[in-house]
Structure 1
């Protein structure tokens, strides 16, 4: 038996756009305000709630306007 045949490389199985969209829509339906997501090579999708991310103080007036939503 060849050494190379015994070691298999597992191919990454990233989720597609539809799976990501469905995960985001399901999170919104559950009351989560998505702030970010993590996509893992094994197909795992993690969605981070905006409330769980600490709100950093704005550095300047531009950041203050951006955080308050006044800068479309």
Structure 2
């Protein structure tokens, strides 16, 4: 009996996105350093960037309703 070799399919390049555990550990480490995480960026090469909430610019309120909403007065 002769075996026939099946040609292998060429695999696409896989991005090395970090998993949930790595992201959770990065967030916990940031909080341990006193950073209040307000956003994060996940790159295909595995880089995780965490942004402090205090450094994220907020949009100026358009009217009095939005001002109250942003300040938490309208719970």
Same fold (TM over 0.5): yes
Unmatched 5+ stretches in structure 2: 1-10
How much does 1:54 deviate?
A: 1.9
User: Matched residues in 2 for 1:10 and 1:56: separation?
Assistant: 39
Is 1:50 aligned with 2:53? yes
Unmatched 5+ stretches in structure 1: 1-7
Larger Rg: 2
Stretch of structure 1 that moved more, 60-69 or 36-45: 60-69
> Aligned Cα RMSD in Å?
2.0
Aligned partner of 1:68 among 67, 71, 75: 71
- Number of residue pairs the alignment of both structures matches: 65
User: Matched residues in 1 for 2:45 and 2:35: separation?
Assistant: 23
Counterpart in the other structure of 2:3: none
Q: TM-score, normalised by structure 1?
A: 0.71
How much does 1:15 deviate?
A: 0.5
User: Matched residues in 2 for 1:61 and 1:21: separation?
Assistant: 37
Q: Which has the higher helix share?
A: 1
